[in-house]
Chains A and B, each alone.
Chain A
Amino acid sequence: MTDSNSKMPAGMAPGLIALGLATAYLVALLGAEKQAVIISLLVLGIGAVVGAAWLGLFDRVSRSFADHEDALGGSAIVAALALAAYFHEDHFVLLLVVTVLLTSVATLGLNVQFGYAGVLNFAGASFFGVGAYTSAVLNAYTSVPHLIVLPIGGVIAALIGSMLLLPVLRTRGHYAAVVTIAFALLFKTFLEVNDVLGGPQGMQVKGMNILGWSFNDNIEAGGITISFYMGYFLLSLALLIAAFVLVRRLERSWIGLNLDALRLDETAASCFGLDITRWKITAFLIGNFLIGIAGALFGMVGGFVGPNNYTFADSLILVSILLLGGIGNPWGLVVATFIVVVVPEKLQTIQEYRFLLYALMVIGVLLFRPEGLLPRPVRRYFPRWRP
């Protein structure tokens, strides 16, 4: 836990420097092609992180972030835009970044469910899939404006999730885990054997189109070609910012307190008037809504949905992001999503050994840093507020 008692607000400099270094590192890593370069960069990155942790620099950075969240969050947005501008032509890098942004939105949703309310959800990828299938169906058969499709995807994910409410509310711990695991397996098998939604063949998804501007065309401006993924990037970034602010405000409110209270001790919480059912439902639905929206947009980005995208294994990846990042800390989630999405993608030469290394990496983090990369600090309702 960070020392939140200090009356002196921390400086902004450590946060800005860390942000700058991280951005430069990402540009280098995303742009690197040669495997030797990528591996050296990864080793360098791990070394730098371990070294910084050893020197206690992390603490200063996280204090800086805690006290200047708005300003540093704004800088992070600028950094993301700069990154995208640098890679404006590079389709694949932009696709990766979009994947990171939307996966972050989904893990933010999981974070509300599990990180705050303690409601386990091992079917995150399934609800992501519900969103994606929603946009596939709506874009193909209806003329609902595509921007409206996104919240519809979220609502449908929340609705389908509410079918699980009864068992989820009644069970606890590992028993609750099995409910969502069963749902994840059921969902994928159902999609596979049911022809209406394309079966295992999946469905094509029409790309985003806002008032005649098709997101799937490259943008030619003054001799510069800008990748068609740029539109998706901007939209995903906006979505992530909105989700981030929402989750942040939720945490820093009485509702966040309620969720923490019921996660940590249901009996004590209900002795102080908490309606356990109401808040569990709220968290479960908000979480699925966020996951569904992210899925709906991702369906349009990928242009394709199929049952294999949304397996139990994918749900596990989402949960492992949550643990890696540090449960309950939105900043940690974004960082962990970057690691989990980008690193295996960059390590294509080790091809068949990727899963092995990934699994070993997660084991290492769980053993040596069980609270995640960026543990959640104590709640502060208004970061810069001092009594």
Chain B
Amino acid sequence: MGKTSRIAAAGLAAAIVALAGASADAKQKVKVGFIGPLTGGVSVNGIGGRNSADLAVRLRNADPKSKYEYEMVVLDSECKPNVAVQVATKMAADKEIIAGATHYCSVAAIAAVDTYHKFGFPVIVWGAVLPDITYRNKYPEIHRVNGTMINQNDANAALISSLGYKTVAVIHDTTDYGKGHNEYFSKALAKIGKAKIVGTFGVTADQQDFTAELTKIKALNPDVIYFGGLTPIGVRIRSQMDKLGVKAVLDGTSGIVSDAFIQGLGPLAEGTLAFREGAPVEKLPGGKFFMENYNKQKYDGAPEAYGPFAFAAMDMIIDTIEKVGPDRKKVIAALANVKDRDSIVGKITFDDHGQNTVPVITKYVVQDGKFVEWADSEYASGKRKLPGQK
């Protein structure tokens, strides 16, 4: 070893010591997790959720008053149960990760809940709506900031009935999400008893052509086509309805509340109904704050419908860690007592299953290329009319 290189080595060593000293002064690092579908057909929603959760972390890290420095570990569930179990295991098994905001896809969430329970890993679900995720078991680790599809379908059935529609055809995808929607919507509609279902059609989630189903539906001539499924096939169904001259109102679920739905259809989206849990973000003071900051970060893609929930979930996780420290057991204990907590999606109260009980449902109708709250729309005021609206 030459003299110069020795000097260099010594300098390097000194630099390392200095760096180590510097980092000792910095805040303690705490890891939190995020899981969502980052690849596949619904990846827009997953990426929107990831960006929103990331925003919560960034805002906190920028805050000099925070006790810890947060690092978000992001994993991709691919909207597949096996992958969900695998990544859930990976996250829960990493003891440095304290808690996670997890899952947009119900099939992924329901597969992973046992894993979270097994490892004692606290999670807050940010988008999946299947009731079973919180209600099948009573796992203290599992919480959910968004509502379930039950509330959504009650509101949906009520609106349809009040608009005077009598006949409904149901199309649902054959995943748990679509089947669940079909089940709860049918129950809700029957309970009100004003409209009846004239036909039910299951379709696979990767189907491209719906003309055969829609031709059958056309012969049934329903007032409304209820659609339980996600954006990609929602777009296909709406545009093929037009092709076949099916005049019924398309009545969707939370799965189509996304900018992608409107972009995919253009003017054809007009008059589509949809429902989503929680108060409309843009109406809450926190919502404006959220959108402003989100836009500042220049993420690729919009937060999409459940971005605010992902933000709220992550924000609640960080709040809790700030309060009780980076300890899973303490975080679980703290999350058991969430009542009337303010958030950008409204007040949050967890019931004994960890489910947010605030049953606010936002009703939407697409008007002029935007999801507009039903009550504010020209359809509600009578200025415009949906096909067959009484």
Contact = CB atoms under 8 A, between A and B. Distances in A.
Q: How large is the interface on A (under 10, 10 to 19, 20 to 34, 35 or more residues)?
A: 20 to 34
A193 B114 CA distance: 24
Given A204-B114, A306-B82, A92 B38 contact: no
B93 A303 contact: no
A200 B203 CA distance: 12
Contact of B74 (A199, A227, A348): A348
Contacts of B175: 192, 200-201
A175 interface: no
B115 interface: yes
Is chain B's binding surface mostly helix, strand, loop or mixed?
helix
A202 B114 CA distance: 14
A308 B42 CA distance: 15
B89 interface: yes
A201 B174 CA distance: 9
Nearest to B75: A348
B186 interface: no
A142 interface: no
Contacts of A345: 86, 90
Interface string A335-361: 000000000010010011011000000
Contact of A355 (B39, B94, B118, B176): B39
Interface in A193-221: 193, 199-202, 204, 216
Contacts of A204: 114
Contacts of A348: 74-76
Interface string A168-202: 00000000000000000000010011000001111
Interface string B86-97: 100110111000
B174 A90 contact: no
A37 to B, nearest CB: 15
A91 interface: yes
B89 A91 contact: yes
A304 B111 CA distance: 6
B110 interface: yes
B67 interface: no
Given A202-B107, A302-B82, A348-B75, A216 B39 contact: no
A354 B176 contact: no
Contacts, number: 83
A200 B5 CA distance: 63
A352 B74 contact: no
Contacts of B81: 202, 304-306, 308-309
A306 B82 CA distance: 7
A216 B74 CA distance: 26
Interface string A294-310: 00000000111110110
Contacts of A199: 174, 176, 179
B204 A189 contact: yes
B86 A95 contact: yes
Interface string A81-108: 0000000001110010001000000000
A193 B86 contact: no
A201 B74 CA distance: 24
A92 B119 CA distance: 11
Interface in B102-122: 107, 110-111, 114-115, 118-119
What does DSSP make chain A's interface, helix, strand, loop or mixed? helix
A352 B38 contact: yes
A204 B204 CA distance: 22
Nearest to A200: B175
Contacts of A99: 86
B202 interface: yes
Contacts of B174: 192-193, 199-200
Nearest to A189: B204
Contacts of B85: 302-304
B330 interface: no
B111 A306 contact: yes
Contacts of B205: 200
Residue of A193, A304, A348 with highest tally of chain B CB at under 10 A: A304
Nearest to B118: A216
Given A192-B175, A204-B114, A352-B38, A92 B89 contact: yes
B111 A200 contact: no
A92 B92 CA distance: 9
Contacts of B38: 351-352
Interface string B224-252: 00000000000000000000000000000
B204 A352 contact: no
A200 B176 contact: yes
Contact of B176 (A201, A304, A305, A352): A201
B83 to A, nearest CB: 8
A269 to B, nearest CB: 40
B43 interface: yes
A91 B204 contact: no
A308 B80 contact: yes
A304 B82 contact: yes
B10 to A, nearest CB: 25
Contacts of A309: 80-82
Interface in B194-217: 202, 204-205
A193 B202 contact: yes
B93 A90 contact: yes
A95 B119 CA distance: 14
Nearest to B207: A189
Contacts of A216: 118
A304 B93 CA distance: 18
Contact of B119 (A91, A304, A308, A354): A91
18 contacts: A99-B86, A193-B202, A200-B175, A200-B179, A201-B107, A202-B107, A227-B93, A302-B85, A303-B114, A306-B80, A306-B81, A306-B107, A306-B111, A308-B81, A309-B81, A352-B47, A354-B76, A355-B39
Interface of B: 38-39, 43, 47, 74-76, 79-82, 85-86, 89-90, 92-94, 107, 110-111, 114-115, 118-119, 174-176, 179, 202, 204-205
The 10 residue pairs across chains A and B that have the minimum distance between CB atoms: A91-B93, A309-B82, A306-B81, A200-B175, A201-B176, A92-B93, A92-B90, A308-B80, A304-B111, A192-B174
